[in-house]
């Protein structure tokens, strides 16, 4: 039994589907705006912004190995 989500697998799925995820979050935010739920709207837009900044990229295992051997 797993203790929680597999971060690497979640990252891969998020990276592969970043556009639709960001679009869906914006639709949620617009819906919340229309319902007068400004705080909820801000939450969804902030979440989308964090995902967009992350770019859906994962660190390559080779990059991690090079970084750890350089220290």
Q: Which residues contact 58 (CB under 8 A, 6 or more apart)?
A: 8, 11, 12, 15
Which tokens sit at 63? Answer: 């990059």
pLDDT in tens, 6-58: 888 988 888 889 999 999 999 999 999 999 999 999 999 999 999 988 875 54
- Return d(Cα 67, Cα 71) in angstroms, integer: 7
pTM value surpassing 0.95: no
Q: 68 pLDDT band (50/70/90 cuts)?
A: very low
CA distance 47 to 41: 10
Q: What integer pLDDT is reported at residue 60 of this predicted model?
A: 54
Sketch the domain layout of the chain as residue ranges: 20-57
CB within 8 Å of 41: residues ≥ 6 apart: 28, 29, 30, 32, 33
pLDDT value at 67 more than 80: no
């Amino acid at each position: 039994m797993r203790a929680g989500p597999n971060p690497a697998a979640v990252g891969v799925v998020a990276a592969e589907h970043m556009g639709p995820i960001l679009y869906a979050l914006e639709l949620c935010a617009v819906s919340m705006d229309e319902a007068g739920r400004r705080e909820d709207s801000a939450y969804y837009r902030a979440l989308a912004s964090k995902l967009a900044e992350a770019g859906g990229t994962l660190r390559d295992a080779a990059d991690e190995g090079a970084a750890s051997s350089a220290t």
